[in-house]
């Protein structure tokens, strides 16, 4: 179930990283038939394989059937992701939807429609797997409940994602420039994401529990007992609710909500019906353990950590493609421009990051947090035998082996064994708490290092400090290329930036000139060459008049604070100080991130005018 969470994150990445082609070479009818054909083959394949598996019930070992069902579910979900990626990146379905007026105004609606396509792939898996699931696990839940419950586990990521980008769409439609400028700046995007993440973590449980169709647990013995246990543990909450996931047939409970006013304790019907009062108490004590050990807050930290990793993914892709000789030689052999491959490489880096981060790092902490929550029971009770007997009932009712491995939980057998070990020697409780504390410290230290490395990487690759980058291979790639295109103009611009950082202004100017030959409208190349010509200490390179001409061309093509600043500098060196002051004020009005630099520039111009 938790694997669906990762699948949806990857699907969202596939959508967000899509770059539409300049022209569509295929007609819509051909695209439609290709899509229908692949979808039809997908359905036939999964239907056949699940039918075969269902036919083996009664002859194969139950453990083998469970293992085979899990393997098929994983394999088919990955196949669904591959087909979805082909629909987006090969068939270019988003490019056919983009011209529709509503989607051009609110791109999030288009993304939701595309995400619905991925949900359709998964739904077909769940529909065709249902008969096998029903026979293997001897469950009586309906097909509708089975499919809805699988989708519902993805709600905690889909709701925040929709709101995050939906609000961004609304801001872009406002008639005011300042909010859009703030959101579009790197600092604004980071701040917006962090603030939204915290707000969503606080308030999202209200929406999630409604989408899950939870209802308040009726007044009676069960509710009174859970309320008494929460008072004893000093835990506050908004409500205790029925959790109808998978029809309430699973023996499970849960808790969500960072703050007590929006915190919900969830229990299923099966848990209330099949467990004794003592067993229910210890299951709830386990959920209280998550609250007491602040696991929900730490989960928020893990999502912030992934933001840092994603921040480093793009410059990593750039480094791989543009500054590695073997890659450039391979691309030259196949006549592929690095920029045409950049979105794919970036997407690949991000998908690998998602799998490694959530499956292994996040999974490690989830397993150990679950064990820590198990151990919290010892703080309220002298032993954990009711919790152990609950695990026995879960094994008996689920039809799955006790030692079945799980990436986000230890196996039930491992959990029971550890509890029994702690019964014999309580020192193991303190050992595990110490292990978790050390792991969290190591994780935070790792986050700090990753954050610093990501910042340094972005600064190095994107213009600020590229002195250590080796552009020899990139220059050789361009020198050997016979037919250059506008994409190569950006490569020359990158080379110019590197040489500019190194102080080799002659080679920087040459690279910028080469970039403008291929693309005279490249605003960034116009801007950088204008700055170089306006400020160069070399009388050979210094050319204020041409610098002003280039800066004026750049600002007509791209209005940005740094380009206004270049125009101001060029005006200043041409003796047009009043115009330079006005241009610098325009730069400041756009809310630049490094505002002090622009303020110092303005002060310099005003002082020159006063003198």
- Per residue in 424-469, pLDDT tens? 999 999 999 999 999 999 999 988 888 787 777 766 665 444 555 6
The 10s digit of each residue's pLDDT in 514-532 is 989 988 988 989 999 999 9
Of 477, 530, 525, the closest CA to residue 497 belongs to 525
* In the predicted structure, residue 334 carries a pLDDT above the cut 70: no
pLDDT at 596: 85
The DSSP element (H or E) to which 536 belongs, if any, is none
Q: How far, in Å, CA of 485 to CA of 501, rounded? A: 25
- What is the average pLDDT across 19-23? 71
Q: What is the pLDDT of residue 167?
A: 84
Give the span between the Cα atoms of 170 and 285, in whole angstroms.
43
How does residue 246 score in pLDDT terms, banded at 50, 70 and 90? confident
Give tens-digit pLDDT for 453-512.
777 776 666 544 455 566 777 777 777 766 776 767 877 888 888 788 778 899 899 999
Pick the range with the lowest mean pLDDT from 114-128, 201-215, 468-482: 468-482
Residues 6+ apart with CB under 8 A from 362: 302
Q: Flag whether pLDDT at 132 surpasses 60.
A: yes
Over range 299-317, report the average pLDDT: 81
214: helix, strand or coil: coil
DSSP secondary structure string, 120-140? HHHHHHHHHHHHHHHHHHT--
Whether residue 186 is predicted with pLDDT greater than 70 in this model: the reply is no
Q: What percent of the chain has pLDDT over 90?
A: 47
More confident residue, 84 or 490: 84
pTM exceeds cut of 0.85? no
Summarised one tens digit per residue, pLDDT across range 336-365 is 667 667 777 888 888 888 888 988 999 999
Q: Which DSSP category does 139 fall into? A: -
C-alpha distances in angstroms, 356 versus 15, 132, 351? 20, 30, 9
Q: Please tell me the predicted confidence (pLDDT) of residue 283.
A: 97
Instruction: With beta carbons less than 8 A apart as the criterion, state whether 551 and 529 touch.
Output: no
């Amino acid at each position: 179930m938790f694997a669906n969470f990762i699948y949806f994150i990857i699907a969202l990445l596939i959508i967000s990283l899509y770059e539409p082609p300049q022209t569509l070479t295929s007609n819509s009818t051909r695209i439609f038939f290709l899509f229908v054909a692949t979808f039809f083959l997908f359905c036939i394949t999964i239907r056949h394989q699940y039918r075969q598996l269902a036919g083996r019930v009664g002859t194969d070992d139950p453990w083998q059937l469970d293992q085979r069902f899990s393997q098929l579910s994983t394999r088919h979900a990955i196949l669904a992701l591959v087909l979805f990626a082909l629909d987006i990146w090969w068939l270019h379905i988003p490019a056919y939807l983009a011209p529709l007026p509503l989607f051009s105004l609110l791109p999030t609606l288009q993304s939701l429609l595309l995400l619905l396509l991925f949900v359709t792939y998964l739904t077909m898996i769940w529909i065709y797997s249902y008969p096998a699931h029903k026979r293997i696990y001897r469950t009586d839940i309906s097909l509708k409940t089975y499919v809805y419950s699988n989708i519902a586990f993805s709600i905690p990521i889909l709701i925040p994602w929709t709101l995050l980008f939906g609000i961004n769409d609304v801001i872009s439609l406002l008639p005011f420039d300042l909010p859009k400028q703030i959101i579009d700046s790197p600092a604004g995007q980071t701040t917006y994401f962090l603030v939204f993440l915290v707000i969503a973590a606080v308030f999202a449980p209200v929406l999630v529990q409604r989408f899950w169709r939870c209802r308040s647990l009726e007044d009676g013995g069960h509710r009174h007992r859970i309320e008494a246990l929460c008072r004893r543990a000093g835990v506050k909450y908004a409500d205790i609710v029925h959790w109808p996931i998978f029809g309430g047939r699973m023996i499970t409970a849960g808790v969500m909500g960072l703050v007590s006013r929006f915190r919900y304790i969830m229990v299923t019907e099966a848990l209330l019906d099949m467990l004794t009062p003592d067993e229910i108490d210890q299951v709830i004590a386990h959920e209280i353990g998550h609250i007491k050990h602040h696991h929900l807050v730490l989960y928020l930290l893990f999502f912030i950590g992934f933001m840092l990793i994603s921040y480093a993914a793009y410059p990593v892709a750039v480094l791989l493609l543009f500054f590695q000789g073997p890659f450039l030689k391979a691309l030259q052999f196949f006549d592929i421009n690095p920029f045409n491959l950049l979105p794919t490489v970036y997407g690949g880096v991000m998908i690998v990051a998602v799998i490694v981060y959530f499956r292994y790092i996040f999974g490690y902490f989830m397993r150990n947090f679950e064990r820590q929550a198990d151990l919290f029971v010892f703080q309220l009770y002298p032993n954990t035998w009711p919790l152990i007997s609950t695990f026995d009932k879960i094994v008996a009712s689920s039809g799955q082996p006790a030692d079945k491995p799980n990436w986000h939980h230890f196996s039930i057998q491992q959990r029971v064994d550890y509890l029994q070990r702690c019964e014999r020697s309580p020192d193991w409780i303190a050992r595990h708490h110490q292990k978790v504390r050390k792991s969290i410290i190591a994780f935070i230290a790792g986050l700090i290092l990753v954050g610093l490395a990501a910042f340094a990487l972005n600064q190095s690759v994107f213009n600020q400090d590229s002195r250590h980058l080796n552009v020899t291979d990139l220059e050789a790639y361009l020198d050997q290329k016979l037919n250059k295109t506008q994409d190569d103009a950006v490569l020359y611009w990158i080379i110019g930036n590197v040489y500019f950082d190194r102080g080799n202004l002659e080679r920087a100017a040459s690279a910028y000139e080469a970039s403008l030959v291929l693309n005279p409208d490249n605003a960034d190349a116009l801007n950088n060459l204008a700055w170089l010509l306006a400020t160069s200490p070399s009388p050979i390179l210094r050319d204020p008049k041409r610098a002003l001409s280039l800066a004026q061309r750049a600002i007509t093509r791209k209005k940005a604070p740094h380009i206004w600043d270049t125009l101001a500098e060029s005006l200043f060196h041409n003796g047009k100080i009043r115009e330079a002051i006005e241009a610098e004020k325009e730069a400041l009005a756009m809310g630049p991130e490094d505002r002090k630099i622009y303020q110092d520039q303005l002060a310099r111009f005003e002082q020159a005018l006063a003198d």
